Amino acid sequence: MATEAISRFMYYPRLTESLEALPAKLFDIDLDPRKPAAVAHYEEQAAKEGHKGRIELNRERLRGATFTAHGDNEWVLGAYSNYVNRIANAVLNSGEASMARYQGGKNEAGQPHGFGTKSWADGIEYSGYWQDGQKHGDSETVWPDGTIYRGSYTHAKKNGPFVVSRKDGVVFIGTYANGQRIGQGVLWSTDRASAKLLQTVVEWQAAAFELVQGSPIPLEQAEAFVERLGVHLPDDSAASAISTNARGRRLLRKEGYLAFVSHMKAEAAMEARFLQTELESLHKNDMVFLDSDDLRDLGKLREHVQQSRCLVLVQTRKVLTRPYCILELLTAIDSQIPIVCVTVGGKPQEIAYNYEEMTKLMMWMDTELEQWNPGAADVLRDHGYEDLTDVAYRLSTIVPKTISVQLNTGDSRNRLHASIQDVVNAMKEARVPNLPDKAAWLAARSKMASPVKKMGRLKQHGI
């Protein structure tokens, strides 16, 4: 039995149980007591990283191997990648339950229902809609190697147009029907300077795109194919003068992003993804900036906020203790970008946004931020905000007065759609931040009692 298959079975309890019941028949043909310590350490580290580490180690070995024919290294590397993907797909489609973590809506039976995110132990993450425990609706699946699949499911089967984006920018676009690949597909080069039409129905294998046979076609024909399917061609070309989405979804229009979603990943990654997905589905020609997808350079963080027509702050308990979330808000205030708040519901108390607590934190940001998150103040100073009293003034006079919309991803689909419409309406009604007189604010604050209770600490600052 292939070791690639066995390594994946370890994440499936029933398969593991079956393997353990078999008599031992395996031995390590690579067992060598003379193996250099550096090599042994490398393999140990790869094992700790799971599938990704093991696969990357094997790829490095193939790249450095010597074969009989010139150029065989790349062919063998492609064949190995194709083999790994076939094993992975076979295991994933086996119907066996794997060890996974789910966060999102559920039905009365406790099954995934509505919008939710499921993460498997081997690094695969699915974000999208569910119906009674089955994938059903628009979705995005991210693989450990950076490959992203965007498409729809109907009762757990892929259905309709899809876009597969590889980390290096290569893209494949095609169609599924009832779980089967049908019709033609178009394969785009990394720089989008060429494309080829795949006449034969093939199962997409992201790591082995170059092995797929196809006929070169004019770019106009390829673009017409994409338009006919109603999908968006990612533009990840390094030479492109147009700012693009790193996950490969659509072009950024000259007027910028529809919205910039500011959130604390540890507390609201799923809700932020939901907002992005839903807002983009309602605005087909627009992009929503999500730093998990789009942020390649922290130095350009403020520039991306300035390119957005609105900043959407996802409110959770500690979002205003994160220095980069604070920087995003300050940039929006300074750049006259409207702000809308989305308060996440259905969260435990330690994650839920506390209005009274956060209002006090914003009012006394200059003295309380370090109590919440040691080192966060230094990040603000490094980005030009030396006066933390001024930071407190800006945040405390703007954020509490912004429109706030409730969002609970555990709600029914109809209520979720209503919540998204409330967000859209709030974005339309939001006005540019208007700071009041600072002297009056300082005078009013001087009459208030400074907080004496020390808040819960975070171990380190971060995004």
Residue 106's H or E segment, with its range, is strand 100-106
Q: pLDDT: is 14 or 296 the higher one?
A: 14
For position 299, what pLDDT does the model report? 66
Per-residue pLDDT, 399: 95
Q: Residue 6: pLDDT above 60?
A: yes
Token pair, residue 77, equals: 């590397």
pLDDT value for 421: 94
Q: Find the domain containing 67 and state its range.
A: 3-92
309 and 370 housed in the same domain: yes
Are residue 320 and residue 428 in the same domain, yes or no? yes
Binning pLDDT at 50, 70 and 90, where does residue 313 land? very high
Residue 288 or residue 30, greater confidence: 288
Tell me, yes or no, whether 282 and 378 share the same domain: yes
- Check residue 334 and give left, alpha or beta (phi > 0: left; psi -120 to 50: alpha): alpha
pLDDT, tens digit, for every residue of 406-431?
A: 998 878 778 888 999 999 999 999 99
pLDDT at 252: 43
CATH number at residue 346: 3.40.50.10140
The whole-number pLDDT of residue 369 equals: 94
What is residue 40's predicted lDDT score, i.e. its pLDDT?
45
* Per-residue model confidence (pLDDT) at position 202: 56
**Residue 83 confidence (pLDDT):** 75
Other CB atoms closer than 10 Å to residue 42's CB: what's the count?
Answer: 14
My answer on whether 327 and 184 are in the same domain is no
Query: What is the reported pLDDT for 43?
Result: 45
Residue 352 sits in the same domain as residue 392: yes
Q: What is the mean pLDDT of the chain?
A: 78
Q: Are residues 289 and 337 in the same domain?
A: yes
Q: How large is the greatest C-alpha to C-alpha distance in the chain, in angstroms? A: 83
Same-domain check for residues 329 and 380 = yes
* Residue 263, pLDDT above cutoff 50: yes
pLDDT of residue 208: 60
What digits encode the pLDDT tens for the residues 211-251?
667 788 999 999 888 888 888 777 543 323 233 333 333 44
With 50 as the cut, is the pLDDT of residue 48 above it? no
Instruction: Pick 36 or 21 by higher pLDDT.
Output: 21
Whether 130 is in a domain gets the answer no
Q: What is the pLDDT of residues 333-360, one digit of tens each?
A: 999 999 999 999 888 888 899 999 999 9
Model pLDDT, residue 358:
94
In a domain, 132, yes or no: no
**Per-residue pLDDT tens for 133-174?**
999 988 888 887 778 888 899 999 999 989 888 877 888 898
Residue where a domain stops, chosen among 92, 112, 127 = 92
Between 330 and 266, where is the model more confident?
330
pLDDT for 107: 85
Q: Is residue 434 located within the same domain as residue 331?
A: yes
Angle at 81 between CA 37 and CA 140, to 5 degrees: 110
- Dihedral angle over CA of 342, 343, 345, 348, nearest 10: 140
Q: How far is CA 378 from CA 22, 317, 320, 373, 447, in A?
A: 58, 21, 15, 10, 28
- Give the pLDDT band of residue 201 (cuts 50, 70, 90): low
The radius of gyration of the chain's CA atoms, rounded to the nearest angstrom, is 25
Residue 53 maps to a domain:
yes
| pLDDT tens digits along 78-98 | 777 777 767 766 666 666 656
Q: What is the pLDDT of residue 56?
A: 67
Q: Is residue 47 part of a domain?
A: yes
The residue written with tokens 């079956």 in the block is 18
Q: Which amino acid is located at 215 in the chain?
A: S
pLDDT at residue 385 in the model: 93
pLDDT of residue 290: 84
Q: Is the pLDDT of residue 328 over 70?
A: yes
Sign of the CA dihedral 454, 457, 461, 463?
negative
Is 128 among the domain residues? no
| Domain co-membership, 395 together with 267 | yes
* Cα→Cα distances 408→215, 405, 454, Å: 48, 10, 30
- Asked if the model's pLDDT at residue 460 lies above 70, the reply is no
Q: Are residues 64 and 154 in the same domain?
A: no
* Residue 122 is assigned to a structural domain of this protein: no
Residue 169's pLDDT is 82
Alpha-carbon span 157 to 128, nearest angstrom: 13
In whole angstroms, what is the distance from residue 377 CA to residue 127 CA? 34
Asked if the structure places residue 21 within a domain, the reply is yes
**pLDDT value at position 386?**
92
* Model confidence band, residue 191 (pLDDT cutoffs 50, 70, 90): confident
Number of domains in the chain: 3
Strand partners, 257: 308
Q: Mark whether 219 and 280 lie in a shared domain.
A: no
**438-456 confidence digits (pLDDT tens):** 999 999 999 998 775 544 4
Burial of 337 (0-12, 13-18, 19+ CB in 10 A): buried
- Domain edge (last residue) among 212, 229, 246: 229
308 with 409, same domain: the answer is yes
| Residue 87 within any structural domain of the chain | yes
pLDDT at residue 35, as a whole number: 44
Q: What is the pLDDT of residue 69?
A: 63
